[in-house]
Amino acid sequence: MLAPEDDLLIVAAFGFAVSIGAHYTGACMGMPYAARAIRVAPALLLMGVLAFVGAALGSRAVEQTVGHGILGGGSVSVGLALAIVVVALALTSAYNFLSLPTSTIQILVFSAVGAGLATGESVHWGTIGTLLLVWASAPVAAFALGYAIVRTADRFRPVSAPSAKLSSVAVAGLVAVGAGASFAMGANDVANASGAFVMTGLFGLLTAALVGGAGLALGVFTWGRPLLERVAFGLVRLDPRMAIASQLTQAGVILGFVSLGYFTSMNQALVGGMLGAGVARHRSTVRWTTIRDLLAGWALGPSSGAAGGFAFAWWLHGLGWA
């Protein structure tokens, strides 16, 4: 039988997964939705299902990293894991409410670092350093790939005059890359929430992924539309080829790092790809005011995570709960 604190951790982590699912709706299905290749309800249904599948089948290595590579020499206490998850959940929910697509991964990791420092838990700084390198390189790689794909495609098949109606090939391509990004999100992001189960030894890798994946899907279905609208229409004016290149780049970069056991920001990879595609055509296609807002949000996420994690864990530690 589970202890009361275990039940609290399950509820908090599942709620965090719900928030994550909603948070990344725009990053996964924004491109096909913006291009009118798919409507809202089918987009959310497709994303929710594939996010769950990605969590179940592709998250093992990242679960290991979050569960055993950030804090402690072995098992972390349930109280400490609860502090980390509650802070990350609260911050992600607040940024969802503000429609600010910050990096949930960076919030989670720095919440863990702050909590570890507050309670004297050992922090694996080597893992943190590697993650910082991954986070810095992912949007740069996405920018380069997005630029290269659009430039190459335009060279071999010049862009025709804009049409009010998408071709069947464009529709299929847009939906396919959105589906790929949804699978990648499940594999990449589920450990933000379910890694707490592995960290404490509460669940094994597969059970943790299934519980977290169900939360991701529920978040997509119930709370995903505002972020879908924000990312779809607020960043870059894209034609179908640019949209496909951006989303394909995002999924490829994310899955490449996931295969190595590291997770990175879906939003940052997408924005990098979008910027690369936009610059490949014309610099004015990029809405730089919105990009500045996103950069501010990305800076706010890690710093608020570290501060919140430290303060909340320090308080719980003083009470003897963490």
Per-residue pLDDT of 257-273, as tens digits, reads 999 999 998 888 988 89
Asked if pLDDT for residue 236 goes beyond 60, the answer is no
DSSP conformational letter for 122: -
Asked if pLDDT for residue 160 goes beyond 80, the answer is no
| Span 35-61, average pLDDT | 95
State how far the alpha carbon of 79 is from the alpha carbons of 5, 9, 29, 180, in Å.
7, 8, 36, 36
Alpha-carbon torsion, ordered 248, 180, 175, 235, to 10 deg: -50
pLDDT category at 30 given cuts 50, 70, 90 is: confident
Per-residue pLDDT of 56-98, as tens digits, reads 999 999 999 999 999 986 688 999 999 999 999 999 888 877 7
Alpha-carbon torsion, ordered 241, 242, 248, 251, to 10 deg: -150
Identify which has the larger pLDDT, 264 or 274: 264
Query: Exposed, middle or buried, 19 (CB in 10 Å: 0-12/13-18/19+)?
Result: buried
Which pLDDT does position 143 carry in this prediction? Answer: 94
State how far the alpha carbon of 35 is from the alpha carbons of 4, 88, 145, 209, in Å.
47, 32, 21, 32
Q: Which two tokens stand for residue 59?
A: 């998250």
Helix axis angle for 225-234 and 25-34, nearest 10°, is 60
Asked if pLDDT for residue 194 goes beyond 90, the answer is yes
Tell me the helices (H) and strands (E) count for the chain, helix number first. 13, 0
The pTM assigned to this predicted structure is 0.90
pLDDT category at 290 given cuts 50, 70, 90 is: low
| Span 7-36, average pLDDT | 90
With left for phi above 0 and alpha for psi between -120 and 50, is residue 124 left, alpha or beta? Answer: beta
